[in-house]
Chain A
Amino acid sequence: MKSDFWSGARAAAPILLGVVPFATIAGMAGVSVGLTPLESVGMSVIVFAGASQLAVFQLMSAQSPWLIMVLTAWVINLRFSMYSAALAPHLQHLPAWKKAPLAYMLSDQAFGISLSRFAVQEPKSPHWFYFGAALAVWTTWQLSATAGALLGSQIDPRWGFDFAFPLSFMALLFGALRNKPTVLAALTGGLTAVAAKSLPYNLGLPLAISAGIAAGLWAESLLRRKEAQ
Chain B
Amino acid sequence: MNPWLLFALLALGTFGLRFSFIYLSGKIEMPTALQNALQYIPAAALAALVFPALLAPNGNVDFSPQNLRLLAGLGGALAAWKTKNVLWTLITGMVLLWGLQWLLG
A residues sitting closer than 8 Å to B (CB atoms) are: 14-15, 17-18, 35, 39, 42-43, 46-49, 52, 56, 66, 69-70, 73-74, 77-89, 91-93, 96, 99-100, 102-104, 106, 108, 111-112, 115-116, 119, 158-160, 163-177, 181-183, 185-194, 197-198, 204-205, 208-209, 211-213, 215-217, 220
With contacts A70-B13, A104-B18, A168-B90 taken as known, whether A189 is within 8 angstroms of B52 at the C-beta atoms is: no
Set A93, A99, A209: member contacting B44, Cβ < 8 A: A209
B11, B39, B77: the one within 8 Å of A46 (CB): B11
| Chain B contacts to A: CB under 8 angstroms | 1, 3-4, 6-11, 13-15, 17-26, 30, 34-56, 59, 61, 69, 72-73, 76-77, 79-81, 83-90, 93-94, 97-98, 101
Evaluate contact between B14 and A80: CB separation under 8 angstroms.
yes
User: Is the CB–CB distance between A47 and B7 below 8 Å?
Assistant: yes
Closest 6 CB pairs of A and B: A212-B44, A189-B44, A190-B51, A216-B40, A190-B47, A166-B53
B18 touching A80 by the CB < 8 A rule? yes
Q: Count the A-B residue pairs with Cβ separation under 8 angstroms: how many?
A: 274
Docked CA distance A89–B21 (Å) = 9
Complex Cα distance, B97 from A193, in Å, reads 23
Kindly list chain A residues whose C-beta atoms are within 8 Å of the C-beta of B61: 194
Q: Which of B6, B45, B87 contacts A14 (CB 8 A)?
A: B87
Docked-complex contact A85 and B21, CB < 8 angstroms: yes
Q: Once bound together, how far apart are the Cα atoms of A224 and B83, in whole Å? A: 31
CB atoms of A188 and B44 under 8 A apart:
yes
Shortest B2–chain A CB gap in Å is 10
Known contacts A46-B8, A164-B94, A185-B40; decide if A193 and B17 are in contact (CB<8 Å). Answer: no
Q: List 15 A-B contacts (CB under 8 A).
A: A15-B86, A39-B3, A47-B11, A66-B9, A84-B22, A86-B39, A87-B22, A158-B101, A163-B53, A163-B94, A166-B49, A171-B79, A182-B39, A204-B48, A204-B52
